[in-house]
Chains A and B, each alone.
Chain A
Amino acid sequence: MLKRRIIPCLDIDQGRVVKGVNFKGIREVGDHIELAKRYENEGADELVFLDISATVERRKTRTQLVNRVAKELSIPFTVGGGIATVNEAKEVIDNGADKVGVNSAAVRNPLLVTQIAERLGAQCVVLSLDIAETNSGYRLAVKGGRELTNIDALEFIANAESLGAGELLLTSIGKDGTRSGFDIKLLREAGVRTKLPIIASGGAGVIEHFTEVYQQTKVTAALAASIFHNQEISINQLKESCKRQDIPVRSL
């Protein structure tokens, strides 16, 4: 039986792990390799690294990051953050990442997804979308959730597979950092529009939020950052709770 995945996310700024609340008020939490190893040993199924540094040195620091992580980890990991060209995506994969996350650049230019998939395979393209609920429905946001677009999020999701995406990482901006649970409504709406695996993101606060999202939606994975970084819940505990409710998860 295919397991539901639990994915800690590490936001990295110039080599340090940080975590924002509602994408603002960024707070530093520690060394990324140390944290990544801890998650691997606790039973994390995959890891996501989001490079949020916006320096001219970004490409170089990202390559160094990927290299180091690849040497230390033996579970799959995704690297995203500011990837705007096929060459940048290739650099990330060549240095040892399994998947590359594309966000703002792919929203502006969806063909980027197609080009990366043609070059590196759809299995490594994680289309990462920041979604806000507005009076006129769900809209995509770019630039780390700071800039709202007029693009209909659900339509974009419906087209994602034909563009070449292999997986969707859907972050609810309204839920992110609130610790009030995943955006069940959004994830359900998304789930009926695509056959792609969906990673739920934004809003995890307690263990029950994970069991709820697995039971009430078809997402194959759930992602969280601060509740893991602050050691409020351990991945092990989380998996035990899932097992008690017959949600298939991987044990070590």
Chain B
Amino acid sequence: MIAIIDYGVGNLASVRNMIKKAGGKAKISSDPEVLASAEKLILPGVGAFGVGMANLRERGLDTLIKERAAAGVKILGICLGAQLLTDYSEENDCEGLGLIPAKTIRFDVADQGLKVPHMGWNNIQVSQSDHPLLQNIQANPRYYFVHSYYMKCDDQADELCSCDYGHSFSAGIAKGHVAGMQFHPEKSHVVGLKVMGNFLSW
């Protein structure tokens, strides 16, 4: 069973629906017992980094996620959930879970006439085509993004795929069995379904 971590932010029903479409089963829960017994975890979320971290801590879920990561459970973060896996975010000047060596940085692209948030459909470039999460993904697929901050890996080797908005940024990152996607696979139609399917068989 896959557990979708409910920590009071964002649209969890869509993630569950997409898992179902990909042929899997997922449970939305904030119950530490349910989450601790899950084979895989998804950390979704939209909204502010500081609120997300505070909500995780309040429920004791920050420790739980770190413990499950140490136990080898596969974890996928989506959007804010992905950013929370990094060491630090400029948003609210806040420390993250530190499971992937990366930082979350504010988009500074106004001088290029670009709007923040980066909202809408954009192409990604796959950096690691052999990664299990990116199997059988068509060339330059388009995914749905909504974010004002982006992730930057300390080590370029941890980048799975990138996207361009004013400059290149990491659209997907991974360290071992912990991965984060800045885009929303659950909102990205058939190409999103593919990533969810890959997560099921990861």
Q: Which residues of A contact B (CB under 8 A)?
A: 1-3, 5, 40, 45, 67, 70-71, 74-76, 93-98, 120-124, 166-167, 195-197, 220-221, 250-252
| Among A71, A98, A252, contact of B17 (Cβ-Cβ < 8 Å) | A71
Q: Are A70 and B115 in contact (CB under 8 A)?
A: no
Q: Are B121 and A45 in contact (CB under 8 A)?
A: yes
Closest to B46 in A: A121
Closest to B190 in A: A252
Q: Are B14 and A96 in contact (CB under 8 A)?
A: yes
Q: Are A220 and B189 in contact (CB under 8 A)?
A: no
Q: Are A195 and B13 in contact (CB under 8 A)?
A: no
Closest to A220 in B: B120
Knowing A70-B13, A195-B110, A197-B115, the reply to whether A252 touches B189 (Cβ < 8 A) is yes
In Å, the complex CA distance between A147 and B9 comes to 36
Interface of A is mostly: loop
The residues of A that contact B190 with a CB separation of less than 8 Å are 74, 252
Q: Are A124 and B164 in contact (CB under 8 A)?
A: no
Closest to A95 in B: B13
Instruction: Give 1 or 0 for each of B99-117: 1 = CB within 8 Å of chain A CB.
Output: 0000000000010001111
| Among B114, B119, B121, B142, contact of A123 (Cβ-Cβ < 8 Å) | B119
In Å, the complex CA distance between A70 and B13 comes to 7
In Å, the complex CA distance between A197 and B189 comes to 22
Closest to B123 in A: A1
CB<8 Å pairs between A and B, sample of 10: A1-B122, A1-B164, A45-B121, A70-B13, A74-B190, A97-B11, A121-B48, A124-B46, A195-B115, A197-B119
Q: Are B21 and A220 in contact (CB under 8 A)?
A: no
Q: Which residues of B contact A (CB under 8 A)?
A: 9-11, 13-14, 17-18, 21, 46-48, 110, 114-123, 142, 144, 146-148, 164-165, 184, 186-190, 192-193
The residues of B that contact A67 with a CB separation of less than 8 Å are 13
Q: Are A5 and B121 in contact (CB under 8 A)?
A: yes
In Å, the complex CA distance between A94 and B46 comes to 12
Nearest CB of B to A89, in Å:
12
Q: Are B142 and A250 in contact (CB under 8 A)?
A: yes
In Å, the complex CA distance between A98 and B44 comes to 13
Knowing A3-B122, A5-B120, A5-B121, the reply to whether A75 touches B189 (Cβ < 8 A) is yes
The residues of A that contact B165 with a CB separation of less than 8 Å are 2
Knowing A70-B17, A96-B11, A252-B189, the reply to whether A76 touches B144 (Cβ < 8 A) is yes
Knowing A74-B192, A96-B14, the reply to whether A195 touches B116 (Cβ < 8 A) is yes
The residues of B that contact A98 with a CB separation of less than 8 Å are 11, 14, 146, 187
In Å, the complex CA distance between A16 and B146 comes to 30
In Å, the complex CA distance between A250 and B189 comes to 12
Knowing A40-B189, A123-B146, the reply to whether A74 touches B18 (Cβ < 8 A) is yes
CB-based closest 3 A-B pairs: A121-B47, A96-B13, A250-B121
Q: Are B46 and A70 in contact (CB under 8 A)?
A: no
Q: Are B120 and A167 in contact (CB under 8 A)?
A: no
Q: Quick one: which of B18, B21, B164, B189 has the most chain A CB within 10 A?
A: B189
In Å, the complex CA distance between A173 and B10 comes to 33
- Other than the given A76-B146, A96-B17, 14 more pairs (CB < 8 A) read A1-B164, A2-B114, A3-B142, A45-B121, A74-B190, A76-B187, A93-B10, A123-B46, A123-B147, A166-B119, A195-B110, A195-B115, A221-B120, A252-B189
The residues of A that contact B188 with a CB separation of less than 8 Å are 74-75
